[in-house]
A and B are shown apart, each in its own frame.
Chain A
Amino acid sequence: MIRFIGARILYVIPTLFAISLISYFIIQLPPGDFLTSQIASLEQQGQTLDPAYVDALRQRYGIGEPFWVQYGKWMGGILFEGDLGQSFEYGRPVTALIAERLPLTLILGVTTLIFTWVIALTAGVYSAVKQRSFADYAISTVGFIALAIPNFLAALLLAYAGFTLFGASIGGLFSPEYANAPWSWGKVIDLMNHLWIPVLVIGLAGTAGIIRVTRANLLDELPKPYVVTARAKGLPEGKIIRKYPLRIALNPFISTAGWHLPSLFDGEVIVAQVLALGTTGPLLLGALKSQDMYLAGGIILIIAVLTVIGTLMSDILLAVVDPRVRFGKA
């Protein structure tokens, strides 16, 4: 086991290096840099900047130096000082900006994840066991509709419904009176009042796929002889399904469970933007638009690292859960 994990971790190191290089390359790709886009937007507003001042800024941020030198400085800071660099736009360290938004991002991510899986697994198992029943068709229909409606549209519709029916304030995860208030029970309840809209929107859209896969996998497993064996022992139906076919039907999910780790962090860019949530999603979008490259690079790098770590966790988890993988038989 230790050897297996060790080997996997060794694979992770070059992967991470490649990812960091590619993500740095990509954020460098668009023509120009933060300063040129800043100057352009100032000029649009009718202002001009002294070229000497611009040069001074260039010097200070190391813009214009060769790619490798910039990349080296960036990685060096991350590896040795845990410093993701400075955001040009906010003039503050990237780590501080991310840390500020992290709790809400995680609350949204974890809640959505739990919501999605509880709903989707229950619905998937139910529609497999009651195949071709009314409930099966109803579940599939709702799932597909949720999948087909664009997230941002559903978010807008729900926000409107929330505003007209429940009088909830639009935008953000807090009402104005709690936005800057310290944590209290009132604030928590206020958060719950706002949280349901993005959780519902993001969560329902994610259920359709899981429902279909659970249903299909379970339908493959249900007629297998080992299910008949379990029945012939005198086990009750519910226990049979939970212990035997469901366990095997869940394998594809376990092997991809790690992919949800980055989605906990990325804060659902589009929905969060539409609903003006204070998660990392809008932060990333803004950084990309204004070519705030250290902020964008930092977020992308964290997401990439989480993806790699998530995959590693999935591999290990699958080996723990399925002996066939552990003994190299599948």
Chain B
Amino acid sequence: MDARQVPAPSWRRPSTDWRSDPPRGDVIVDVRNLHASFYTPDAEVKAVDDISFQAVRGRTLCIVGESGSGKSATARSLMQLIDYPGQISEGNILFSPGAGSAVQDIAAMEPTCEEIRAIRGRQISMIFQEPMSSLSPVHTIGNQISEVLEIHQGLKPRQTRERVIEELRRVGIPLPEERIDSYTFQLSGGMRQRAMIAMALIARPSLLIADEPTTALDVTTQAQILDLLAELKEQLGMSLIFITHDMGVVAEIADDVAVMRHGKIVEQGPVDQIFHDPQHDYTKQLLGSVQGGATSRNRRAKIERAAASPVVRERADPAITEVTERPLLSIRDLRMEFHTVAGGLFARRSKKKLEAVKGVSLDIAPGTTFGLVGESGCGKTTLGRCILRAYKPTSGQIFFDEAGREQVDLAALSERELKPYRARVRMVFQDPYGSLNPRMTVRQVVEEPLRMLDGVDSEERGERTAVMLERVGLKRSAMNRYPHAFSGGERQRIGMARALITDPSLVVADEAVSALDVSVRAQVLDLMAELQDQLSLTYLFISHDLSVVERICDDVAVMYFGDVVEQGAAEDVFERPQHPYTQALLSATPVTDPSARGTKGRLTYQP
């Protein structure tokens, strides 16, 4: 269609004759030598590069890999759903919905033809990562679910209402009679994903493809959705292909695993073999970044550091603490309220008061890493922003007490008085893409905080930027390039450099590694630990990821709906959780060992 485009092969290609070698009867989809490419104006980008695998009826196949590994392109190829300008260029996808039923080659079908449309939603269904954006915001969920029956069984919406309600009940949506007429924005993330599952399953497909269905969800919701999928798979006798980057999730649900990297499958086999006897280095690396390896090293370092820091002495002998060290940051009864206008056409417009932080008190000792954990909406980010004074807290005190300086209450300072402290408390953001201005060079990005300090001339700024870039593991030559030239991990290093350029004492890292792939995440965490030692930094590490927090934090506070429900030393909180919510949170975290599956009961917390 585009004159400038590299010519793509035509759809009707001579395929290798698979009829002489039909797939085994117990295989629902047999992928042979699949290639899929994206045809851009400049080049052909191979997203899927000659992969072969089989999904066995009634089993769960996990395709695991990091971003850009081609796992999503593989999943979408199975339904001819690759976005333009991508397409399948070679290979076979041999699909037979039931044992003994006719085999069709999906790879040979055109993406819009009638045959593939008869398969989509009817024989093979798909659920996606982000249920909010994967469902239409302007249609009710009932409308969108009943549409599947309308397409494949020719039923009118009013004939199917009962069935849709029944399906919503099956996926565990409370009050399905009412929820059927809800819009997506009226449901929580977990409910939306349940509605999505109901939509995928209502026509009783024989194969369900789940493309990172729990990545956007909180850990407790993730656990519920994984349990639900496993249960429905049993009930309905489906096969499941599950795409994920999370080895913990793989350990929870997989029967078979295929590990992908750079468009190729590097290793595949039953889940026990992959976890307990991995052959390929990359698989070991993936497992290492969640299990032992880097962890133990970090732990050791942390313990050594903790032994050297006065905090431990503080615990050992409370009498000394009074004299030796005061916390760097102590928050007392901090409250943050937001006022929103709610209501609409049918309801009285009302001003709602939202208490994001409800009287939190905590102390952060200098030189330590303080973990703040909780699920989305619990107020952890708001708390972080109050400390940075991006928000002005409604009430409470934030005492900032650096050695050799006067103690101040950040909550009470005016914008002008705050200015020197803007260089002392810095932030690292979650999204390494969104948090760097694409129109500024790395030098401009990193040196910008120095510009607000008086008496730092251009030459000195350049020198300090270069030194800082080297410190975070980048080259000096990176200074004049733009952020788009860097990978996610490198961008996060740039974000670290920007935070550290003013030589701060406290760094608030808000989900700083959540958007990174596991292998990159381990590197960035190592870097953070290294910098902490070198520059005697204190971190407030905000995260929803318990495994990371457990690994790197000295002290932990657990937040739930604006309250800190539990806080203490990391070892105590993780090994002997006192509060039922902490217990529920820990029980929902996937264990990265398939043989431990089902040994740990799920706890739920209802206040």
Beta-carbon contact of A328 and B342 below 8 Å? yes
Q: Is the CB of B138 within 8 A of A232?
A: no
Closest chain B residue, CB of each to CB of A319:
B345
Docked complex: B153-200 residues within 8 A CB-CB of A: 183, 185-186, 196, 199
- Are B136 and A244 neighbours in the complex by a CB distance under 8 Å? yes
B76 partner residues in chain A, CB cutoff 8 A: 228
Contact across chains for A324 and B346 when beta carbons are under 8 A apart: no
CB pair B133–A226 under 8 Å, yes or no, is: yes
Interface residue stretch chosen among B113-121, B283-291, B560-568: B113-121
| B345 lies within 8 A of A225 (CB) | no
- Whether A232 touches B183, Cβ cut-off 8 Å, given contacts A4-B345, A244-B136, is no
- With contacts A231-B81, A235-B117, A236-B117 taken as known, whether A328 is within 8 angstroms of B151 at the C-beta atoms is no
| Contact between chains at A226 and B134 (CB < 8 Å) | yes
Residue of B79, B117, B133, B137 with most partner-chain A CB within 10 A:
B137
A239's closest neighbor in chain B, by CB?
B151
The verdict on B444 contacting chain A, using a C-beta distance below 8 Å, is no
Name the contact of A235 in the complex, choosing from B83, B137, B147, B346 (C-beta under 8 A).
B147
Residues of chain A with a CB closer than 8 A to B183's CB: 323-324, 327
The CA of A207 and the CA of B251, in the complex, are separated in Å by: 57
* Residues of A contacting B348 in the complex (Cβ-Cβ under 8 angstroms): 3
Give the number of residues in A that approach B within 8 Å (Cβ atoms). 35
For A31, the chain B residues whose CB sits under 8 A away are: none
| A316 to B, closest residue via Cβ | B345
Contact with A along B327-369 (1 / 0, CB 8 A): 0000000000000011111101100000000000000000000
- In the complex, what residues of B have CB within 8 A of residue A229's CB? 126, 128, 134-136, 196, 199
**Which residues 25-40 in A have Cβ within 8 Å of B in the complex?**
none
* Given A132-B1, A229-B128, A248-B138, A329 contacting B185 (CB threshold 8 A): yes
B324 at the interface (CB under 8 A from A): no
Is the Cβ of B135 less than 8 Å from the Cβ of A130?
A: no
Q: Which residues of chain B are within 8 angstroms of A228 by Cβ–Cβ distance?
A: 76, 81, 83, 128, 134
Contact-size category for B: 35 or more
Q: Does the CB pair B134–A130 fall under 8 Å?
A: no
Residue of A nearest to B123 (CB): A234
Check: B277 CB closer than 8 A to any chain A CB.
Answer: no
Chain A contacts for B117, CB-based, 8 A? 234-236
Question: Which of B79, B117, B138, B148 counts the most chain A CB atoms within 10 A?
Answer: B138
CA distance A268 to B138 in the complex (A): 36
Residue from A234, A325, A328 with most neighbouring chain B CB atoms (10 Å): A234
Q: Is the CB of B128 within 8 A of A231?
A: no
Q: Which residues of B contact A327 (CB under 8 A)?
A: 183, 185-186, 344-345
Taken together as a complex, chains A and B put the C-alpha atoms of A321 and B133 apart, in Å, by: 19
**Interface pairs (10), CB distance under 8 Å:** A225-B133, A229-B134, A229-B196, A232-B79, A232-B81, A234-B122, A236-B117, A327-B185, A328-B342, A328-B343
Given contacts A133-B1, A225-B133, A326-B344, 20 further A-B contacts (CB under 8 A): A4-B345, A132-B2, A225-B129, A225-B134, A226-B137, A228-B83, A228-B134, A229-B134, A231-B120, A232-B121, A232-B125, A233-B121, A234-B120, A236-B112, A323-B138, A323-B183, A324-B138, A324-B183, A328-B341, A328-B343
Closest 6 CB pairs of A and B: A234-B120, A233-B121, A234-B121, A225-B134, A328-B344, A234-B117
